[in-house]
Amino acid sequence: MAMGVVISQVATITDARQSTLTMTSVPSPAGAMSETPQMTSSSKGTILSWIERQGATASLKFAERTATGWSTAKTAASGTNWFVNWADVPSVIRLDDGSLVAHWLQKSGASTYAYDVRLSRSTDNGATWSSSVTPHHDGTQTEHGFASLFQVSGAGLGLVYLDGRQMAPPAGGAAGGGHDGHGEGAMTVRYAQFDGAFKQTVDAPIDLRVCECCPTTVAVTADAPIMAYRNRTEDETRDIYVSRFEGGKWTEGKAVHNDGWQIPGCPVNGPMLSARGRDVVIAWFTGKDEVGHAYVAFSKDGGRTFAAPIRVDDKETLGRVDVELMPDGAAMVTWIEDTDGKTEFRVRRITPTGQRGAPLTLTAIASSRTSGYPRLARHGNELLVAWTDVTPGGSGSRGTTQVKTALVK
């Protein structure tokens, strides 16, 4: 929970004429009542995953991007006891050995936030999956989620996740009563590692006091993995921190920028990272002074230090950002712009020198939580976006949802 600040100034913004961005719709592999898109990329391509619901059953499905479009959707797991949430979403990742690992969230008790991270592996390209395991072994019926999976160099799978074991009620006590309906203790962020045989080898804390329900993120640099999360101090300042995996352990958390946003509850708005070599870019949301803005900051030293933040949005934003570092060193950033009563899913190009390209509105998007987090992913020269399209229903109806995809050039 260190309060060390890497930088404290905000960069001068200069809007520049750059190549106009365009969007081309791509037929989505997701079916009706699909939601919570997630995208991961490997040397083989980009994987899109999502949840589809049919009655009480939720299924984690995925498809991989090929030269001819999305592959046929496959199911990684299904259940009737899942925790399905607009911000805490499952994923499917392909590791360097070709295996696939899926994660989802499964209820562990009756209280709202009693759920576990479940992991399963496939060594036959998704035809069959192993029995699921959990990376945490504390035995509490508390929140375990917001996992970010990544390839560990020379090993297998790594993941960081939020862990609520310190928020468990005392013996015989009732859960809840704390921030956002959680327990009274502090949320933690932890690290787990699995070897090539899918056997867990590491279970360790990273930070013992963090925001209760903001997504985590991880990127792998040429030096080491770097992870980011929303911290929480004793005076309820909730700024974005980073930690690097050095010498077999995570460094003490360090603020990317001293936003100084004090808020007595979780804003459910996490950061996103992208890396290429030793270049890193991070995007995040802050709501200081009751106005939402999004920023990016660049690093040239693997995330040890970051340059001054560059503002992403034009007027105000709901956040829900994503970012991809491009081969030329610029960043492509997505966010939800909130302007004049309209909410729009937008993308723009930003350079490390602070030049911002013109924004491209990809689509109008629901401001409600039903639309979730739009996603951005790059493989080679292909830049993909995914989002949840919401068709409102009648009175008391949730309406319908479908995950849609498009290319940005």
pLDDT tens profile 301-313: 999 999 999 999 9
Alpha carbons 83 and 256: distance in angstroms, whole number: 31
pLDDT score, position 174: 45
Long-range contacts of 376-381 (CB under 8 A, 24+ apart): 376/39, 376/322, 376/323, 376/324, 376/332, 376/333, 376/334, 376/347, 377/39, 377/40, 377/41, 377/46, 377/324, 378/41, 378/46, 378/324, 378/326, 378/332, 379/41, 379/45, 379/46, 379/65
Summarised one tens digit per residue, pLDDT across range 253-296 is 999 999 999 999 999 999 999 999 999 999 999 999 999 999 99
Side chain identity at residue 238, one-letter code:
R
> The tokens of 343 are what?
């909410």
Picking from 332, 297, 336, the residue whose alpha carbon sits closest to that of residue 319 is: 336
Q: How many residues in total does the chain contain?
A: 409
Place of tokens 């995330």: 303
- Beta pairing partners, 157: 151, 194
Q: Are 351 and 403 in contact (CB under 8 A)?
A: no
Six token digits for residue 233: 């101090």
Write down the pLDDT at residue 77: 98
DSSP category for residue 167: G
The whole model's pTM is what?
0.94
> How many other C-beta atoms lie within 10 A of the C-beta of residue 397?
8
Q: 59 pLDDT exceeds 60?
A: yes
Q: How confident is the model at residue 173 (pLDDT cuts 50, 70, 90)?
A: very low
Ordered by where they begin, the domains of the chain are 5-408 (2.120.10.10)
Helix, strand, coil proportions of the chain in percent (round to 5)?
5, 50, 45
Mean pLDDT of the chain: 93
Taking only the tens place, the pLDDT of each residue in 10-47 is 776 677 766 799 999 999 999 999 999 999 999 999 99
Assign 394 a pLDDT band (cuts: 50, 70, 90): low
Model pLDDT, residue 395 = 65
pLDDT digits (tens, 9 = 90+) for 100-132: 999 999 999 999 999 999 999 999 999 999 999
- Above 50 in pLDDT, residue 183? yes
